[in-house]
Amino acid sequence: MNIILLGPPGAGKGTQARFLVEEHGMVQLSTGDMLRAAKESGTKMGDIVADVMARGALVTDDIVIGLIREQLNTVKANGFIFDGFPRTLAQADALTNLLAVEGEMLDAVIEMEVDDEALVARITARSTCGDCGEVYNDNTKPQPADGKCSNCGASDFRRRADDNEDSLRTRLMEYYKKTSPLIGYYYAKGMLTKINGLGEIDEVKAAIDKALS
């Protein structure tokens, strides 16, 4: 099963993708992770990525599609979760064409709907474990009193520099301008399922599992 998780920054896509990887044997294809791995790989595509990044140029859609093609051809998985791609209608068309060529298909698109004000309040209170990535929230899931991560025991808690109200609102506007048209695109294809992205983590997980079952 190949799926896309849609939603603005902080909607919880990364957390839910982790559950899908752990429980269903899927592979999360994060654009950022693929670019970083390619840069260090020494492959032909990796050299292209390294050159583009060294020049400070924008990574083209063709390069990202090439990286996704490599993953589809080399990684064995029970499906892929597309994370950070597509972001635009042109990229959505490119992904559809790539999957068709590779004998694959997109099975579902999950939109994690959020209320912007509630999202801003949640994200500005967010911190993560620097070792395992466990997410904490000052209001709903505070860091343990003993200063150690409840998941791995580390004590390296971090806050993203851009998890502040002004920066987050800028990121939200960028998302709505560029990515929200994908909602209509996949709705028209009959592939879109909307869920409440601001529910409790287990509630969101259950809703995604139901949508994919």
Annotated catalytic residues are 13, 87, 126, 160, 171
Which tokens hold the place of 86? 């597509």
Does residue 9 have a cis bond before it (omega within 30 degrees)? no
Question: In sequence order, which residues have a C-beta less than 8 Å from that of residue 209 and are 6 or more positions away?
Answer: none
Per the CB < 8 A criterion, the answer to whether 157 and 130 are in contact is yes
Asked if residue 81 lies in contact with residue 30, where contact means CB atoms within 8 angstroms, the answer is no
Alpha helical stretches, state H, the chain: 13-24, 31-41, 44-54, 61-74, 89-101, 116-123, 165-178, 181-188, 201-212
As a whole number of angstroms, the distance between CA 31 and CA 110 comes to 18
Q: What is the DSSP string of 2-47?
A: -EEEE--TTSSHHHHHHHHHHHH--EEEEHHHHHHHHHHH-SHHHH
Three-state SS at 70? helix
